[in-house]
């Protein structure tokens, strides 16, 4: 019952966060000269064009009910790196834009947490929401930086590999959904996620220290 109640606020936070993540990819791609996302109606914060029924709703709900690692995704924003003024650095910055947007959201929710403490005082429900939103965005940021195709980190790494090797490496993206499910569900593979918990814990500790100092 407790996990079911948490769905009521965690899933909307996750949906908002992955939509911002995808919008950031499209926005930076557009700045580099690729209007594909705009032409496809994806350069918007309206969640409807971005929702993936499986990745945005079903997977996070099932993981939450099972007490597992919470994760989700939206439909990837379409981009065409051939349109970038500089293909390599365009692809690198577009790839990093998503995780960067989640880091900024983590900071934003931290600021809102501090503001709520100043204006309302301590409220356990609000604290739970802001802490969850902050940590969830940190997870999204650092998880997406893992160099596992098709995650954003793989596109960054691919740009610094020899081209034939980069093509073979990125071709693993066809198995991306299976790889992610193994990481999220099976215990031996879930240990890889400890690579995510380390930076998440460090940054979350720093942000919570800011809350404690400012509150």
pLDDT at position 1: 47
Model confidence, pTM: 0.90
Residue 62, domain extent: 2-214
5 is annotated as an active-site residue: no
DSSP 160: T
Q: Express each pLDDT in 81-110 by its tens digit.
A: 999 999 999 999 999 999 999 999 999 999
pLDDT at position 60: 74
Residue 44 tokens, joined: 């918007």
Residue among 2, 5, 22, 187 flagged as catalytic: 22
Contact 76, 2 (CB under 8 A): no
Average pLDDT over residues 24-38: 96
Average pLDDT over residues 26-32: 97
In the chain, the number of structural domains is 1
Q: Express each pLDDT in 108-165 by its tens digit.
A: 999 999 999 999 988 998 999 999 999 999 999 998 998 988 899 999 999 999 999 9
Is residue 71 left, alpha or beta, with left meaning phi > 0 and alpha meaning psi from -120 to 50? beta
Cα separation, 211 vs 113, whole angstroms: 7
Residue 144: count of CB within 10 angstroms of its CB:
23
pLDDT at position 189: 65
């Amino acid at each position: 019952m407790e996990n079911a109640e948490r769905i009521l606020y965690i899933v909307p936070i996750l949906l908002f966060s992955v939509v911002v993540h995808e919008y950031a990819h499209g926005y930076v791609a557009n700045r580099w000269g690729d209007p594909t996302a705009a032409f496809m109606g994806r350069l918007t914060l309206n969640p409807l064009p971005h929702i993936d029924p499986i990745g945005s709703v079903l997977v996070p709900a099932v993981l939450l009910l099972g007490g597992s690692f919470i994760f989700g995704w939206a439909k990837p924003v379409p981009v065409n790196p051939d349109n970038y003024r500089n293909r390599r650095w365009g692809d690198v910055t577009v790839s990093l834009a998503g995780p960067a947007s989640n880091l900024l959201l983590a900071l934003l929710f931290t600021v809102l947490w501090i503001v709520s403490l100043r204006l309302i005082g301590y409220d356990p429900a609000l604290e739970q929401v802001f802490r969850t939103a902050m940590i969830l965005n940190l997870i999204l940021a650092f998880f997406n930086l893992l160099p596992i195709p098709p995650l954003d980190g793989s596109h960054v790494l691919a740009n610094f590999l020899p081209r034939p090797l980069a093509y073979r490496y990125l071709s693993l993206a066809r198995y991306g959904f299976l790889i992610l499910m193994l990481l999220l569900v099976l215990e031996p593979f879930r240990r890889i996620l400890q690579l995510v918990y380390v930076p998440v814990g460090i940054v979350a500790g720093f942000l919570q220290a800011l809350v404690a100092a400012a509150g």
